[in-house]
Amino acid sequence: MILYRKEPIPLQMRNIMLLDDDTTGGVVYVNKQTYDQALLLHGRFDGDPNRVINTIKGKGTETYIVNVELRGLVENMMKAMPKPLNMLAPFIILATQNKNIEWKADNLVMGYGILHQFSQLIDFNATTLVPAEVRNNLSLPTIILMQYEASWDELCSTLKDRVVNIKNDSVKNEEHVAKPKSSNEISKEVISEESEEDEEVEDDEEVEDDGIDWDALNARLEEIKNAPPEKPLSINTTPAPEPTPVITANKSEAEASSSVLDEFDI
């Protein structure tokens, strides 16, 4: 993909690079695959596009030299295209044999367009590695080469749709993220929770009150009320017997008993 625009478009896609064309004041969008091919060519040919021309020209492309406008367009593209994309400018000569193309040396937009069409069908770096006989048979119909503007419009529409979808997805993801609550909102929630708890407690009390069997309770109270009075407890008024006095021996008797025990060594 090589997309040339006079003004940049809001693209934020991965694997698409934006390069400035200082000569025309426009911008060039190129996908990573095409950029890597240009980078390989830049390294292999020491950044010299003329060496690429010498490699790819053959029997079918030698006549580009006599076409002043075509040759001028290739030279201008090699100077105007940002590096390393300028290594792709020589591949315009692959359209030398195409008829009904009005070449103009200053029509750089058409040069970008033809390279864009080629980029969708060939590998620029690999083209320099195949035999010359294969490159001589490499060509695209003129009608396809000149439809680059329609291809660009379709490409821009597709890329913009992708950008819109990415933005919409990001907005949806942000909506799912919970925002921090203010202190007023938190206090309102606490008050509402407390009121709900009070209502639940009142409901529980009402349920418990409704569970009492008032008829059975009233009947029991009537039974207690109509029951005969119980007999008073009798109290034993008989005086308690007097305690038996303890008889203690006098001192003389105690001494006599002690002497008797001493005689028998008890």
d(CA 223, CA 221): 5
Min mean pLDDT across 65-74, 155-164, 199-208 is at 199-208
- Angle, CA 99 vertex, CA 98 and CA 102 arms, to 5°: 105
d(CA 89, CA 149): 18
Instruction: Quote the tokens at residue 257.
Output: 């008993």
- pLDDT tens string 43-60: 999 999 999 999 998 877
d(CA 44, CA 42): 6
More confident residue, 57 or 178: 57
Percent over 90 (pLDDT), the chain? 40
* Measured CA distances, 107 to 24, 74, 82, 103 (Å): 10, 10, 16, 8
* Mean pLDDT, rounded, for 16-41: 92
Task: Give the pTM.
Answer: 0.61
Strand partners, 17: 30
- pLDDT tens string 99-144: 889 999 999 999 999 999 999 999 999 999 998 888 888 888 999 9
| pLDDT score, position 199 | 56
8: pLDDT confidence band, cut at 50, 70 and 90? confident
d(CA 157, CA 11): 11
pLDDT over 90 (residue 194): no
Give me the chain's average pLDDT, please: 76
d(CA 143, CA 147): 6
d(CA 99, CA 95): 9
* Proportion of the chain in helix, strand, coil states, percent, rounded to 5: 60, 5, 35
Instruction: Quote the tokens at residue 103.
Output: 């070449």
- pLDDT tens string 137-173: 888 899 999 999 999 999 888 876 555 444 445 445 5
Percent over 70 (pLDDT), the chain? 61
Walk across the sheet containing 2-5 and list its strands: 2-5, 26-31, 16-21
Instruction: Quote the tokens at residue 85.
Output: 């994309």
| pLDDT score, position 235 | 47
pLDDT over 70 (residue 242): no
CB 5 within 8 A of CB 112: no
- pLDDT tens string 73-83: 999 999 999 99
- Of 118, 104, 94, 113, the residue nearest 67 (C-alpha): 104
By DSSP bridging, strand 2-5 and strand 16-21 are: unpaired
32: pLDDT confidence band, cut at 50, 70 and 90? very high
